[in-house]
Structure 1
């Protein structure tokens, strides 16, 4: 087994000098005209899906590869284009790995029994996706038996997991903040994650991490106290209105233990672009600004 995911994150954050993660979310309706025009037609007047998604993903990777340690492709944006989209997802993830980036595949899987085990092997074990994927996101609301197969495979292979504990979407509180047995549901989920993290018995941070949105307030401090051994994936900065102050509370006292994600804020810079090089440079500048914001949070903690 190679270096475990949590240790890879620590090493790459130190090497790149920041804890930023850039999402790869190819939404057709947001793409720059110059990118759409650069791809051949599919015969129906639309850009060829596989070429477009691949070109978009490679443009993002090229723009950020030397700036950030982690990228996070969102599978849904590729899946919507069917087999062509999934071929593009494979190409983009392989390209990101070739460029030395850690890849968190955002699929939010969550099921039970043999189904969950099959997902775990596919993405984290011996399946065809595993060589491209360093870490997977999980939805926990079917209970601990939906997480345990992933935890077993991740423990064997050294891959990472980010479980959705308290998410940044506006409707999250409808379920996640419900009170059950005297505490919110997200606290029960955090306890599940803590138990699995402790079971790994590794030094430093566990590979069993948590998604904790940057749009929260006191919850971030509460969850960090509950999960002292878990890496946090912190989305919500930028388009979702997340707060830098909340991001600070997701780091530990040494400014470690979290990676902060931005997708739309980096993928879709404002402006008119006349070439792909110009678009790529605008993405790069957006990524630089995002990295500076993330670093200001870590510096404030330390």
Structure 2
């Protein structure tokens, strides 16, 4: 792997994988999205402008902060409002940090060289107002192009979620493609994440590793794997359990995938799954109590489905 990450975590922050595992154990395996779609803003009685965006996003943080394993603001839906929208995203990251809830900034950044390093500094560097606890990234310029993000994430105790097997039909064109030696692109991506996690986990003390969820530690480089992809992992030769990192999974529980489907998709890696729910929870707003009830139900549904 290009750009081998530093062994362990060099700063004072506990590694993201350890923090996420603890949050999942406490609150359930649910990541609640903050997706201010125009339709949701209208359903909440809010204007599709920066003021409406801010009210929507901070209401979600107020309702769910400290009650879910993680919050996932969708960067594109903030960026569509320009610089003032990005400023609201910065507020969301700061507000979640204040209440002690992990944030996964869903920006799906991916580039090469100094440009990738620039994205890494924006979303992963200490002191950046856009730096949450983790970032979604795209590996489809070659997994090794993500080395600057891996290096900085692990050096600062943050994490990554790398697109691997997504549920959109177009994703198969790239993710299922195979190299000359027969390895699928998805399997290359999973191997890249596994190698990064192996280095990180080997550098953790036994005490830190043992504090992770269950009997094993989670690394800080996870994958995005759709919960409704059926047997795609088997077809592409992806060993999800071997990644030893969290698996961010849209489509769990009430969103469509129950225990039988999850067994087919994730197999022995179900304990690593962090279910992602956005509209399923957000549709309950703007009432704070209703949002909290929807998130509790989504977390319970996810936990039940992942145990089955």
Fold match by TM threshold 0.5: yes
Query: For the structure 1 residues 239 and 294, does the alpha-carbon distance in structure 2 shift closer, same or farther, using more than 3 Å as the test?
Result: closer
Deviations 1:8-52 (A, max 9, x none): 011112222x1100000001123245531xxxxxxxxxx372221
Greater shift in the superposed pair: 233-242 or 184-193: 233-242
Partner of 1:215: 228
Partner of 2:163: 164
Deviations 1:48-102 (A, max 9, x none): 7222111101222222224311000000000001012111111122112212210
How many residue pairs were aligned?
281
| In structure 1, distance between residues paired with 2:274 and 2:196 | 20
After the TM superposition, which parts of structure 1 deviate over 4 Å for at least 4 consecutive aligned residues? Answer: 238-244, 248-255
Partner of 2:61: 61
Q: CA RMSD in A?
A: 2.5
Deviation at 1:256, TM superposition (A): 2.8
1:231 aligns with 2:241: no
1:2 aligns with 2:10: no
Contact 1:51 1:88 in 2 (8 A): no
Partner of 1:117: 117
- Structure number with greater CO (CA < 8 Å, separation at least 6) is 2
1:30 aligns with 2:30: no
Query: For the structure 1 residues 34 and 186, does the alpha-carbon distance in structure 2 shift closer, same or farther, using more than 3 Å as the test?
Result: closer
Give 3-state SS (helix, strand or coil) of 1:133's partner: coil
Partner of 1:44: none
Partner of 1:77: 77
Contact 1:178 1:185 in 2 (8 A): yes
Greater shift in the superposed pair: 100-109 or 232-241: 232-241
Give 3-state SS (helix, strand or coil) of 1:116's partner: helix
Contact 1:105 1:136 in 2 (8 A): yes
Deviations 1:201-255 (A, max 9, x none): 3442211111111111223465344634121111134797445434356667586
Partner of 2:177: 178
Contact 1:215 1:240 in 2 (8 A): no
Query: For the structure 1 residues 171 and 239, does the alpha-carbon distance in structure 2 shift closer, same or farther, using more than 3 Å as the test?
Result: farther
| In structure 1, distance between residues paired with 2:280 and 2:265 | 20
Partner of 2:4: none
1:296 aligns with 2:304: yes
Taking structure 1 as the reference length, the TM-score comes to: 0.83
Taking structure 2 as the reference length, the TM-score comes to: 0.82
Contact 1:5 1:159 in 2 (8 A): yes
Contact 1:238 1:265 in 2 (8 A): no
Deviation at 1:178, TM superposition (A): 2.2
Give 3-state SS (helix, strand or coil) of 1:172's partner: helix
Contact 2:190 2:243 in 1 (8 A): no
Contact 2:164 2:224 in 1 (8 A): yes
Deviation at 1:284, TM superposition (A): 2.5
Give 3-state SS (helix, strand or coil) of 2:220's partner: strand
| In structure 1, distance between residues paired with 2:18 and 2:221 | 12
Contact 1:19 1:295 in 2 (8 A): yes
Structure 1 unaligned segments of length 5 or more: list them. 37-46
Structure 2 unaligned segments of length 5 or more: list them. 1-11, 204-208, 210-216
| In structure 1, distance between residues paired with 2:251 and 2:60 | 19
| In structure 1, distance between residues paired with 2:101 and 2:150 | 23
Contact 1:239 1:264 in 2 (8 A): no
